[in-house]
Amino acid sequence: MINHHVYEKLIHITSEKNVMVNEPLKSHTYTRLGGLADLLVTPETYEEVQQIVKLAKEEDIPFTLLGNGSNLIVKDGGIRGIVMNLNKLNEIRTEGTKVIAGSGARIIDTSREALKQSLTGLEFACGIPGSVGGALYMNAGAYGGEIKDCLESTLVIDHNGNLLSLQAKDLDLDYRTSNIPDKGYIVLEATFALNEGNYDEIKAVMDDLTFKRESKQPLEYPSCGSVFKRPPGYYAGKLIQDSGLQGTQIGGAQVSLKHAGFIVNIDNATANDYLQLIKHVQKTVKDKFGVTLEREVRIIGEDIE
Ligand SMILES: Cc1cc2nc3c(=O)[nH]c(=O)nc-3n(C[C@H](O)[C@H](O)[C@H](O)COP(=O)(O)OP(=O)(O)OC[C@H]3O[C@@H](n4cnc5c(N)ncnc54)[C@H](O)[C@@H]3O)c2cc1C
């Protein structure tokens, strides 16, 4: 249900064009599924972000942060209260060997900016479809690199709306985790400390990683990337493949035939299709190999009533 009083306050903080009512979240997620957000707000300045966080607290209204929606499953009942997306805070600039990116910039574009400046260290991120904020949240990584290797510092606001400047070590970055969810930080900006390199060599690495990704991942379908974390000593994709699960389909969601670690939306899947298929995969792998597959992808929102 829309809170009109909160809507009025939001358009006062930012502007009418930045506040959407009953917005379908399937338009904002890589899986192309999810119900409606009561209010989706896309602030344009750090001050607006601060004021929106304070408003949600004052009004005691649920608040959810959405990045690029590439590591999320939003349930079919959607999300109540305020959903905030920072994709308008997407400036990327270079200072010497540092690249400074707004949290709503794509990490892919940040990696391309580093290439443009012949700076090495962000090549691994050239195909990760998340935002800078989302990449810090889960210490995104690929092909031997991760955010932890090159992040120097970050500007965040805490759950009370206070602005904090933190060093990378303050985020406890580890394999696909950070303390951002526990602390309730909202990342506004990240500074990556890179090294001078050779343009052609950096480009060659990025081209090679792009080729590997395109040949191995089902990028032709909507998905949320790898659904499960790598269990210690195993590969999730291999366990799923060896369980004979590739091609298994529930509704419109299917365990990818190209990469077993992915679940793809091949035919107007619902979030419920996805969730059932995730449970089925977890149970089958547990029964067959005794290994627990922990989800990498986050599930948010409400079930349909
Ligand atoms: C085809 C495909 C390939 C992928 N390949 C990889 C890969 O190689 N390596 C990898 O690590 N991941 C990969 N992913 C997963 C995904 O891209 C990353 O997890 C990415 O970091 C998620 O960022 P996002 O902006 O999309 O976050 P979202 O999915 O929108 O959100 C994820 C979480 O981050 C939080 N968050 C978002 N922005 C902020 C912010 N500004 N401040 C605080 N919290 C925030 C959200 O609240 C949410 O809890 C892939 C996904 C797809 C679809």
Q: Which residues are catalytic?
A: 176, 226, 296
- Is ligand 1 within 6 A of the CB of residue 271? no
Q: 69 CB under 6 A from ligand 1?
A: yes
User: How far does the centroid of ligand 1 lie from the alpha carbon of residue 5, in Å?
Assistant: 32
* Spatial distance between the Cα atoms of 36 and 285, rounded to a whole number of angstroms: 33
- The atom number, within ligand 1, closest to the CA of 143 reads 8
Pocket of ligand 1, candidates 30, 40, 137, 151: which has the most ligand atoms within 8 Å of its Cβ, to mutate? Answer: 137
Q: What is the pLDDT of residues 113-172, one digit of tens each?
A: 999 999 999 999 999 999 999 999 999 999 999 999 999 999 999 988 899 999 999 999
Give per-10-residue mean pLDDT for the chain (305 aa): 87 97 96 96 96 94 96 96 97 98 98 98 97 97 96 94 95 96 97 98 98 95 95 96 97 97 97 97 98 96 91
pTM (two decimals): 0.96
Where does the chain have alpha helices with state H? 4-13, 46-59, 107-116, 132-137, 180-183, 199-216, 236-242, 271-289
Three-state DSSP class for 197?
A: coil
Give the list of residues 6+ apart from residue 294 with CB closer than 8 angstroms, or none: 228, 229, 231
141 lines ligand 1 (CB under 6 A): yes
CB of 134 within 6 A of ligand 1: the answer is yes
Which residue among 30, 126, 128 is best mutated to probe the pocket of ligand 1, counting the most ligand atoms within 8 A of its Cβ?
128
Work out which ligand 1 atom sits closest to the CA atom of 187: 42
Task: With CA atoms as reference, report the closest residue to 18 among 88, 67, 66.
Answer: 88
Mutate to test the pocket of ligand 1, among 42, 53, 71 (most ligand atoms within 8 A of CB): 71
| 68 Cβ below 6 A of ligand 1 | yes
